Amino acid sequence: MRFGCQTYSWEMMGDKWRGTQDDILDTVAAAGYDGIEFSNNRIGPYWERPRDLEKALADRGLKLAAFAYATTGFTDPARYEQDLAGADRALELADHFGCVLGLGGPSSDSRDNYDAKLAQAIRFYLEVTKRADKAGVTAAVHPHSHHTSLALTADEYDRLLSATAQSGIRFNPDSGHILRGGQDLLDCFKRYRDRIAHVHLKDVTAEGKWVRMGNGSADFPGLFDWLGQIGYSGWVVIEEESDSVWQDVGAAVAANCQYVRPVEMCRRQDLIRRPV
């Protein structure tokens, strides 16, 4: 499996982070990842300079694992055209690199008028998927568990994914967000097995606090075993949202890479030892 690093760790620091996109690339490469997943909120000038990004990645032996696009949750009709214009730009970048376009989950500052807000987000996902199909790009929806999320529970995931099933949009499950929504991790992955195009991993305690991988409640060995059994060949992108980001973001993302590779290697060795 190919492991990538998501740039949300730098995004969550906001203006307190003073570095450049090249600093992020250097950190991710030094940590031992195979690729990186930029978001529209952290890609900076490279969004307009894909060829320069291509060279910057190649110079460090990295690939663009995916491009993540999120604004205010896609639930506001007044933002629809603006959100679509941004999605078109994101599609151009994803098309250039031949990578997945991850679309942030539906969200809003409140759950008032929930049905209308979810319907608006679904309208957005359906239109972007139509445009992605024409461009030959795989689009995937990525529900999250932050306080603004409109897709947390198993029922809410099912409502979102059922309503978009015929569109061809794929699923970008995230271990941490699934667990924070009170769902069983493997059960969620299994329910939407045929739609998984891209995977995010991060760890969380039973109480919902973000922690480094291996220190929370996520059964990563079991998940890797299952992904191996179904022949998953997409990217596995690691995110870090724990307090350790504020202490040393480079050390935090490196620790996750150091954790995940031995777990995956153990899975491979176990498969080799199993009788045919």
CATH code for the domain of 126: 3.20.20.150
H or E stretch at 58: helix 50-59
The pLDDT score that the predictor gives to residue 74 is 98
Over 50: is that where the pLDDT of 170 sits?
yes
Over 80: is that where the pLDDT of 142 sits?
yes
Average confidence (pLDDT) over 234-238: 97
The pLDDT score that the predictor gives to residue 263 is 79
Encoding tokens for residue 214?
Answer: 């291996």
The pLDDT score that the predictor gives to residue 270 is 62
Q: Do 112 and 81 meet the contact criterion of CB atoms below 8 Å apart?
A: no
Overall number of domains in the chain: 1
Average confidence (pLDDT) over 138-167: 97
Going along the chain, which residue ranges are E strands? 2-6, 35-39, 63-69, 100-104, 139-142, 170-171, 199-201, 203-204, 210-211, 235-238
Over 50: is that where the pLDDT of 272 sits?
no
- Per the prediction, the chain carries an average pLDDT of 95
Band the pLDDT of 275: cuts 50, 70, 90.
very low
- CB within 8 A of 157, min separation 6: which ones? 143, 151, 181, 183, 188, 191, 192
Band the pLDDT of 261: cuts 50, 70, 90.
confident
Over 80: is that where the pLDDT of 141 sits?
yes
Residue 34's domain comprises: 2-273
Buried b (16+ CB within 10 A) or exposed e, 19-43: eebeebbbbbbebebbbbbbbbbbb
